[in-house]
Structure 1
Amino acid sequence: MMNSNETIFSSATLLFEIPLVRRQIYNVCISQPMKIISDGIWTPNEGSKPLESAFTMLELQIVVIFAITQCFHFILKQLGIPYLVSQVMTGFLLGPSIPTGPLEKYKKMLFPFGTPDIISTVSSYGYAFLLFLNSVKMDLSLITKTGNKAWVIAISSYFVPIIVGFLSMAVYGKKWQEMLGEDAVGLPVVFISHSGCSFAVISSMLNDLGILNSELGRLALSSAFVNDVLGNIWAGFGTAIVSSLRMKLSRRIINAVAFPAYIILVPLIGRVAMRWVVKNTPEGKLVHKMYVYVIVAMFFLLGYVAMSINQPFLGGAVVLGLAVPEGPPLGSELVHQLELFSTTFLSSIFVTCLTMKVDLTQCDSLPLIGVICGLIIVVHIVRWMLCIGICRYCKMPLNDGFCLALILSCKGVVDLVSYILVYDSMSQSKRVIDIMVVSVLIFGTLGVYGVKTLYDPSRKYAGYQKRNIMNLKHNNELRIVACIHKPCHMNHIKNVLELCYPAHENTLVIDIVHLTELVGRSNPIFIAHKLQQTVGSSVYNYSGELILTFDLFERDYPGFATANTYTAISPVALMHEDVTNLALDKNASLIILPFHVKWGGDGSIESEDTKIQSINSRILERAPCSIGILVNRGPSTLNSISYKVALIFLGGHDDRESLCLAKRFAKNFDNILYVYRLLAHDHDMANWDYMIDDEELRGVRGAHATFENVTYEEIIIKDASQTTFFVKDIANKFDFIICGRRNGVRSSQTSGLENWTEYSELGVIGDLLASPDTETKASILVVQQQSTVASSG
């Protein structure tokens, strides 16, 4: 008789004796020796049957599972349902949960007795590597950085529901024992498991929702981390105690000492070895593959050691993963090498194979369903009330508190697999596990839908407060947030800041953020270098160059310029959150973004970075202040201490904002500013916008001019071709050109040019200046004024 419950995760000695209800007798016919490789369908031998070979059957099973999962996902993703649901539904369909009528015989042919365990054993390595990589991505220092709020939420939301669960057992335990019989033994597992949450599941959910970098996302991630660590330690000690009940006293003592020693010594010693690997990897080079092979070998060895002290094989994967320094070069290389095949492909099949063991048709006991569902609901209501209450005490909005509660209640692949493994260890009845598997689907989907509906991270950027240059009081300090992705951006940003002329009554506060892609770690980090002098190994070296560059800039303008440097490590899809959050926190009036195109010395396009373009587009949509996109077509350093600057003014909000910035440039009398106002030949002088433009221009024209180094000129434009000719004519006469974006604004000066715009983020004039057809060595700044609620409405 084949034991279908033994996998690589269960030790030879089961935690409990096999209950009578779990004992089943099968009549199985097995051909020995088993045929591994098929003779093929084109062989001349009569009676050739490819499906009798184990390898052919395994391939066919994988193809069928993958195809059905993708079909489910193609339909369910339109409704926003997580991918896990598609995997589980495939398991239900191929298992006994969903009867398929006349197709049942084909299902038994495809998955004869014992074969699901063969494929689940093969694919289980994928899940083991999934947990390993999730541990690699964890930043252990997060536990020391977590604030009091996250600690209180994590500890209370874990232990208080457990206490409530045991109190319920004390009050109703006898009654439930009479109603449920043997099924009542596993009730503590129900409320203990639902009191915890998985850091990997929460991190993946927040990333999918695009709120990993938000204030709510960071709080949820910190709380989940603490909760998960507490849950794993609790489960580890519980497993060690339960598995030792039938052992000798000496063995119990060894297990009790071995488990804490294991979880302390492996990360402690392993971390030192891993850091040696990082130290001996040249900057910018990949980790040598030999180190990766050694770590994979240690992965299997430590799994064996974990099983020898009566811990699950997965314990070794998690503990070793915690020893690996997150981020590049080692953590990111392991993720790159192992993630696609092991976690994306194999773990998906593993989940489906495990859910094939679930049989929902056996859940026919209404008392059992009522008690378990009641316990689960009570646990989650207690958790929600605690989260909401603590958040309200900390003056968080009620809506955000409820969203945090939904996030921490979310269940996923780690929870589902844990339930099935509990079933495999014979410590829980099949019917209880079936109901808990369904609860994973419900809470996983409920969390995603609830947060999507209730939480809008962009609402805090609503422009009720005016944060732009135009509305700054006279001689007020100008606050700027500047973004840097690559070393080549630094000098160009510095040139713009020098143009802003930090001086008495013209002070400048600059926050420079170096944006780095999150690779090989789960949680985004944000480093303020003035508060933290040392940069971790996961930050590229040129962050040090950035700090030095802007420290020197600050020293060049003592008392007039303040430069703060930051490093933000986050996913590309969420980098805009770091920038907009910083601008919001620092009350900035302008964000300067580098353009995504890099030009060569001959004026041709050298490279384009679509990631930078997508980040810029998101910031343009939700920035809490004005924005300037810096296009660099000239040299990174200018030899002259003075600049020839041109402002192309057509009118409107964006052009008025660029005019205000240009006036600041002109406060340095070494700079020469030319203001070109392009007027339509049929312009209406009684138009309200025209009169506002006229009033703003008074300071640079005619008798009202306040700057001697400013030249003002009005040019009548008959059609768009004249505008194109004028822009190309002046493009190579200046060091720096400023214009407004004027997105969505139509005028006779640019009529028709909108259809030929290649870079919409630059507007019509900016796109003309950035075109390869325009010969220029000037740097170009395209300005968009803050979009306020009033102006947008």
Structure 2
Amino acid sequence: MTDFPPPLAPAPWPPISKDKVCYGAAFFNISSYGILENYETPSVVFGYALPLLELQIILIFVFIVLCHMFLRCIGIPQFVSHMLAGMLLGPNLIDLLNFSSDRLSLDVALDGNVALEGVAKFGLIMFTFLMGVKTNKRAAFQIDKRTVSIAVSSFVVTMVTGIAFRNFRIDKIDPLYMPLRLAPTERTVIVAVNALTLLPVVTHLLYELKIPNSELGRLAISTAAVNDLLGFINLVCISYIATYRYVSPRTANRDVVAMIILVLVVLFIIKPAAQRIVDITPEGKPVRRLYLYGTIMTAIAASIYTTYFNQIYVVGALLVGMAIPDGPPLGSALEAKFESLVTNILFPISIAVITMKGDILKVLSAFDDISFNIFLVGFSLAMKWTASFVPCVICKLPTRESIILATIMNYKGFVDLCFYEAATKKHNLSQATYTFLMIYVLLNAGILPTIVKALYDPKRKYIGYVKRDIMHLKPNSDLKILTCLHKPDNISGAISLLQLLTSPPNHENKDRGVIAVTALHLVKLAGRAFPVLIPHDKRSKLRLHQSSYIQTMMLAFTEFQQDNWGSTTVNSFTAYSHENLMDQDICNLALDHLTSMIIIPSGRKWSSDGIYESDDMVIRRVNTLLLDRAPCSIGVLNDRGYRKGNLKNKKITNGTVNVGVIFIGGKDDREALSLAKWMRHNPRVCLTVIRFVSVQEPGKSKNWDYLIDHEVLNDLKETYSTAEKFTYKEKTVNDGPAVATTVRLLAEDNDLMIVGRDHDDELLDFSGLKEWMELPELGVVGDLLASKDLRTRVSVLVVQQQQQHE
């Protein structure tokens, strides 16, 4: 049997007195021979670096699990458990850092916590980088007057009011607690960090709440991005002034130039390189590992760079993360490969290590000296909340959403802890103030998300705060339409409808905007496959397409764009998604592209002869969810293939398409009429507007919707009264059977019917019709036109106007 080599000499245990140690070449052992190395003193293994690190990590996770076991029952986020575990392991209970500090060596450079600190910093760098990658770049940089006003107000008001109170009661501070000349600096740090709403922190919160792609989440991200930009400029300026005053002007100038260089490198080297990786990666193929690890090394290098030039180390990682395109292939690959490790292992360690350094006893002993700091934190919190809430109300956001957004703007998280830790190391914060701020972040992170959860209604996730419909489009605006395709059968119907909206340029419509079409092909995922959205842009023509259907879709829409060159633009996407997530993918893309209308197939399939075949229940479920949640107007297309000729109508000649609009009353009918007006400019379209009028209309002058309907119809008749291929009719109907009979007769005279989904119930009596609806998502009239028993080839587009906030 081979003999084991003699064990290395263990680190001294217990530690010997420092005055007996000769400090020469410092060294320590990494791994031991196990717990049985020394029978009499098994704890000698903790004199080795690796077992000590393992013990520290095990203790951290034991305390995290114990804390979260109780806190999750009341809905407290796991981030709070990370912080609480660190506080329990701090100097007031376990004192893990002090226990580990001299286990390896008495040399300060070989502190026993160095490895743990390294893991913690690496975890925060990686987590900040991933938050930057996951941030919706389109939403972050979708800046308008509303986001700027909220962000600037929240930052400036908090900074100005906080600085105004900075010197209040400064003479009451005990010189033994802190020199009076440093007290204003401490208060400036408190106010400056409280004025910040950090983008990675907000992104983390929104993902915890599962609302990153909601209308409210996008508004919060864009507002935080503006606030973050102001904070970044403020941070660089404060750092420059402090370095200029207390270090040297040369160092201050060097640091500012270095940060400018980093920003330029990120914008003009790293971002184009990341986009190049996306471009050269074939669709459906994974990104090469070399690129993934190269991206991670770039983020780490940027963090080292910012640390060297006296900035907080997570800034570099955040800048690199923001330069990486979110989504597939690169962003999704980074998330899939590193998110589990970082989120579940490294990030908890990082937060616990930071909070281990707080000492609650010092807060109690120095309470009189930090009492004004406590007031300053509460005061700045109230001012920032007010400064965020008031612009929201002025911008006409709903009161509940204004409260939620103002609350999100005051949320504090892991980057705030990094700022506090860095300020403490530079002696800009006392240990007592640092501990109090740590407790403040703990309470903030536990209470504010709970408030947001209580106020936020998930059903209103995609409900818009601005009007995204056709009726309120400006005259010269582009008509942005998202067309959804589930099956190859949907392509021809969608393109035929879009063709009716186009028109050749002439003197009548020379100022009209283009039709911007976004085609989304939805592919059902099975099992546990990861959802992905693939854009088919111009560069993607060079990539590999494994699906002939994708090629067919792209070819059809490319041909559509070429046939209508100058008046249309087309962008194509493929979404691989689960059934229960398809509506979210559609809503997210509609929000991204500021769509005015989503067009979806009804799910009812017809044969080439116009005979009913089947209903697709998956598509119908998706449609039902979309009708409740869509962030814009929506049109449900039941396509019977009118292009092949109507079974009874023999009037189709020279490619003329008869389009009929049934107008009863209500916002959905007005939206349907607005869509039909776009078709009026197409020379192939013969448009007929049929208004259903009831015999009895008592008290309608008091109905606001009725007055708007009357105004819209009067404007229509005045504008198009002399136009060719336009007809306006009124038909009197009294009850449900009369409505059904009239609708069936109109179906025989038209190729496409456009109707509103819901109508003003006071205008017509639909009794007897609602009880027999086969497709309730199409409304009463839409269901009649999509009926199996209707023996015509008429197609129907059922329109619902954007569901506005209350």
Please give the range of the TM-score, normalised by the shorter of the 2 chains. 0.5 to 0.7
Query: In the alignment, which residue of structure 2 is the partner of 1:341?
Result: 341
Contact 1:302 1:320 in 2 (8 A): yes
Per-residue deviation, 1:345:
1.6
Give the secondary structure class of the aligned counterpart of 2:520.
strand
> For 1:565-586, what per-residue CA distance to the aligned partner results, in whole angstroms no more than 9, with x for missing partners?
6869999794364488799984
Per-residue deviation, 1:435:
1.1
CA, structure 1 residues 295+461, in 2 after alignment: closer, same or farther (shift >3 Å)?
closer
Query: In the alignment, which residue of structure 2 is the partner of 1:295?
Result: 295
Q: Which residue type is aligned with residue 407 of structure 1?
A: I
Q: Which residue type is aligned with residue 166 of structure 2?
A: M
Unaligned runs of 5+ in 1: 1-24, 464-478, 518-523, 596-607, 632-636, 646-656, 669-690, 711-737, 744-765, 767-780
- State the alpha-carbon separation in 1 of the partners of residues 802 and 228 from structure 2: 42
Query: In the alignment, which residue of structure 2 is the partner of 1:653?
Result: none
Per-residue deviation, 1:217:
2.3
- State the alpha-carbon separation in 2 of the partners of residues 189 and 273 from structure 1: 36
Give the secondary structure class of the aligned counterpart of 1:740.
coil
Per-residue deviation, 1:94:
1.5
Aligned match for 1:40, one of 34, 49, 63:
34
Q: Are 1:75 and 2:75 an aligned pair?
A: no
Query: In the alignment, which residue of structure 2 is the partner of 1:309?
Result: 309
Query: In the alignment, which residue of structure 2 is the partner of 1:58?
Result: 53
CA, structure 1 residues 272+503, in 2 after alignment: closer, same or farther (shift >3 Å)?
closer
Contact 1:410 1:446 in 2 (8 A): no
- State the alpha-carbon separation in 2 of the partners of residues 251 and 275 from structure 1: 35
Within a 5 Å distance, the mapping from 1:317-716 to structure 2 comes to 317-364=317-364, 365-456=366-457, 458-459=459-460, 484=484, 489=487, 491-495=489-493, 514=520, 549-550=556-557, 574-575=584-585, 577-578=587-588, 586=596, 591-592=600-601, 618-619=625-626, 622=629, 641=644, 698=741, 707=748
Q: Which residue type is aligned with residue 128 of structure 1?
A: I
- State the alpha-carbon separation in 2 of the partners of residues 177 and 516 from structure 1: 67
- State the alpha-carbon separation in 2 of the partners of residues 362 and 160 from structure 1: 31
Contact 1:481 1:592 in 2 (8 A): no
- State the alpha-carbon separation in 1 of the partners of residues 45 and 500 from structure 2: 78
- State the alpha-carbon separation in 2 of the partners of residues 526 and 377 from structure 1: 46
Give the secondary structure class of the aligned counterpart of 1:443.
helix
Query: In the alignment, which residue of structure 2 is the partner of 1:758?
Result: none
Q: Are 1:165 and 2:171 an aligned pair?
A: no
Contact 2:600 2:635 in 1 (8 A): yes
Per-residue deviation, 1:270:
2.5
Contact 2:90 2:356 in 1 (8 A): yes
- State the alpha-carbon separation in 1 of the partners of residues 750 and 247 from structure 2: 91
Give the secondary structure class of the aligned counterpart of 2:30.
coil
Contact 1:739 1:783 in 2 (8 A): no
Q: Which residue type is aligned with residue 492 of structure 2?
A: K
CA, structure 1 residues 461+577, in 2 after alignment: closer, same or farther (shift >3 Å)?
closer
Give the secondary structure class of the aligned counterpart of 2:397.
coil
Unaligned runs of 5+ in 2: 1-16, 104-110, 465-478, 503-514, 524-531, 605-615, 649-667, 677-684, 686-733, 752-771, 778-786, 788-794
Q: What's the % identity of the aligned pairs?
A: 25
Query: In the alignment, which residue of structure 2 is the partner of 1:284?
Result: 284
Per-residue deviation, 1:181:
4.3
CA, structure 1 residues 444+638, in 2 after alignment: closer, same or farther (shift >3 Å)?
same
> For 1:105-146, what per-residue CA distance to the aligned partner results, in whole angstroms no more than 9, with x for missing partners?
999868877544431322321211122233334566767631
CA, structure 1 residues 138+451, in 2 after alignment: closer, same or farther (shift >3 Å)?
closer
- State the alpha-carbon separation in 2 of the partners of residues 692 and 444 from structure 1: 58
- State the alpha-carbon separation in 1 of the partners of residues 376 and 208 from structure 2: 29
Within a 5 Å distance, the mapping from 1:189-268 to structure 2 comes to 189-243=189-243, 245-268=245-268
Contact 1:136 1:326 in 2 (8 A): yes
Give the secondary structure class of the aligned counterpart of 2:390.
helix
How big is the alpha-carbon RMSD for the aligned residues of Structure 1 and Structure 2? 5.8
Q: Which residue type is aligned with residue 514 of structure 1?
A: L
- State the alpha-carbon separation in 2 of the partners of residues 706 and 302 from structure 1: 66
- State the alpha-carbon separation in 1 of the partners of residues 177 and 402 from structure 2: 36
> For 1:360-381, what per-residue CA distance to the aligned partner results, in whole angstroms no more than 9, with x for missing partners?
2221144345312221222122
Q: Which residue type is aligned with residue 427 of structure 2?
A: M
CA, structure 1 residues 629+83, in 2 after alignment: closer, same or farther (shift >3 Å)?
farther
Per-residue deviation, 1:56:
2.2
The count of residues paired between Structure 1 and Structure 2 equals 611
Query: In the alignment, which residue of structure 2 is the partner of 1:740?
Result: 774
Aligned match for 1:131, one of 116, 128, 131:
128
Q: Which residue type is aligned with residue 592 of structure 1?
A: P
Per-residue deviation, 1:502:
6.2
Give the secondary structure class of the aligned counterpart of 1:293.
helix
Contact 1:576 1:618 in 2 (8 A): no
Give the secondary structure class of the aligned counterpart of 2:316.
helix
Contact 1:483 1:594 in 2 (8 A): no
Contact 2:303 2:314 in 1 (8 A): yes
CA, structure 1 residues 274+431, in 2 after alignment: closer, same or farther (shift >3 Å)?
same
CA, structure 1 residues 259+204, in 2 after alignment: closer, same or farther (shift >3 Å)?
closer
Query: In the alignment, which residue of structure 2 is the partner of 1:188?
Result: 188
